[in-house]
Amino acid sequence: MIVPSEFEVYQRLIEFLGANGWTIICASPPGGTDNRYRKCLLPRREIGGSEKGPRDEVDVTALNKDVIVLIECKPRLSDSLTQLNALLESDYRKLKRIESSFYPSRLSSLLQRTTEVSIPENPTIALALAVGSVNCDPPSDMAVLEFASKDPRIWRSGSLKFC
């Protein structure tokens, strides 16, 4: 089986979300910019009450009714769980940190202001990893979307409904 690249996973994810009624709030594809969407940049931490300073970039942020989902893309699930970024954290840890850093109303406000997409005031926040191949055990507390074929396989999505 040929494992899709990170960019191919990103493309398939965008198509899948659009076909299933999700609104893409912002997107930051690997290795570039998707001119259809604003980049998904979030303040990493507040510095003296300011939103200036280090930023986190999320691959895709999407909205369906009152749910905002933050999604990171990688070719393999093991990459999402073990490859470390500049802060020495995996995509999984990064998403968990972002989730714990923002009240839903604060995240909604930031995203609405920077993207001009209409977002509910107090949404539910969900996290997901989009991958080309699930090659290890998926985490129990986060959805995993596997894009090895045209129709993705969804692992452990809990109450998060993608279709």
Q: Where are the domains of the chain?
A: 6-155
Helix (H, G, I), strand (E, B) or coil at 144: strand
Tokens standing for residue 47: 């510095």
| pLDDT one-digit tens code per residue, 145-156 | 999 987 899 987
Q: Tokens 């691959």, residue?
A: 59
* Interval 14-35: pLDDT, tens: 999 999 999 999 999 988 778 8
State the fold for domain 6-155.
Trna Endonuclease; Chain: A, domain 1 (3.40.1350)
- Is residue 42 classed as helix, strand or coil in its secondary structure? strand
* pLDDT band, residue 77 (cuts 50/70/90): very high
Give pLDDT tens digits for 99-129.
Answer: 999 999 999 999 999 998 999 999 999 999 9
